[in-house]
Amino acid sequence: MTTHVNTKEKAHKLFELIEYYEVCNRAEGKSPKTISWYSANLKSFRNYVKSRHLPDSLDTIDTKLLREYVLYLMKRTRYNGHPYTPAKTELLSSATIHGHVRTLRAFFNWLVVEGLAQNTPAKDLKSPKVSRKVVSTLSDEEIGAILNTFIISPSDARNQTLFMILLDTGLRISELVNLKMDDVHMDEGYLKVMGKGKKERIVPIGNNAQRALQRYLFRFTPKPNNPVTNNVFLSTSSQPLTENSMKLMFT
């Protein structure tokens, strides 16, 4: 199936439509991470089209080309062409390829809804099955060994609290670093969390994690540099903790 451009409008370049799609996603209030993910996937597809020396136009794109792109992704190694990270030897995961296919479906469906295309070539596009891996869990001995690495200092008290809340609740790192003081309900034993899609939910917290959090809040929380900062977890420089800095703690 070939994408037919609405002839009532001028023929847009693919890069123009990708930029417009990003603007619409921002206007709809999608999260910056989601917008960045869509944009990166669509940029990858456009680079593939350019590598085939095809015109930068919707008229170029049909279901056959999209399937060939999926085959290309199945043979591509991780970080191939990344400007900063060296390429790896392992291939892209099936989950990553599935994400690219989801992006293409969403993009071409959006073109139809916006009246910029009459049909979508991604309608019959299938992605490879996502392999499901069994998640290995920490043993009691491993948990104890990790907890024993923390000494009593402000940063260690914070890291121990982060670890225990993650272990107890299964929160996402993004949810934990964005936790605000108003979200902590110690007496009731729960945290109020803003998750994906800006959906709020109540997350119970166990006694051990509560005690660690209480100790951190009352004894070790640094004073924020910015008076309006309301984040629970701060860095040693009194700035809100970031996802990247937290990932570095546990890798």
Q: How far apart are CA 200 and CA 194, in angstroms?
A: 4
189, 204 Cβ separation under 8 angstroms: yes
Q: How far apart are CA 101 and CA 95, in angstroms?
A: 10
The domains of the chain, with CATH numbers, are: 14-113 (1.10.150), 140-249 (1.10.443.10)
Between 211 and 66, the more confident residue is 66
Section 150-162 average pLDDT: 75
Q: How far apart are CA 106 and CA 29, in angstroms?
A: 16
Q: Which of 8-22, 25-39, 80-94, 96-110 has the lowest mean pLDDT?
A: 80-94
Section 56-78 average pLDDT: 90
- pTM above the 0.75 mark? no
Per-residue confidence (pLDDT) for residue 60, from 0 to 100: 86
Q: CB neighbours (10 Å) of residue 238?
A: 13
157, 219 Cβ separation under 8 angstroms: yes
Q: Which of 3-7, 109-113, 147-151, 180-184 has the lowest mean pLDDT?
A: 3-7
Confidence of residue 7 (pLDDT cuts 50, 70, 90): very low
Section 76-82 average pLDDT: 72
Return the closest-CA partner of residue 38 out of 114, 108, 122: 108
Q: How far apart are CA 106 and CA 233, in angstroms?
A: 36
Q: Which residue has the tokens 């409008």?
A: 9
Give the highest mean pLDDT range of 85-89, 91-95, 220-224: 91-95
Confidence of residue 88 (pLDDT cuts 50, 70, 90): low
Return the closest-CA partner of residue 158 out of 223, 228, 212: 212
Return the closest-CA partner of residue 76 out of 55, 54, 53, 51: 51
59, 5 Cβ separation under 8 angstroms: yes
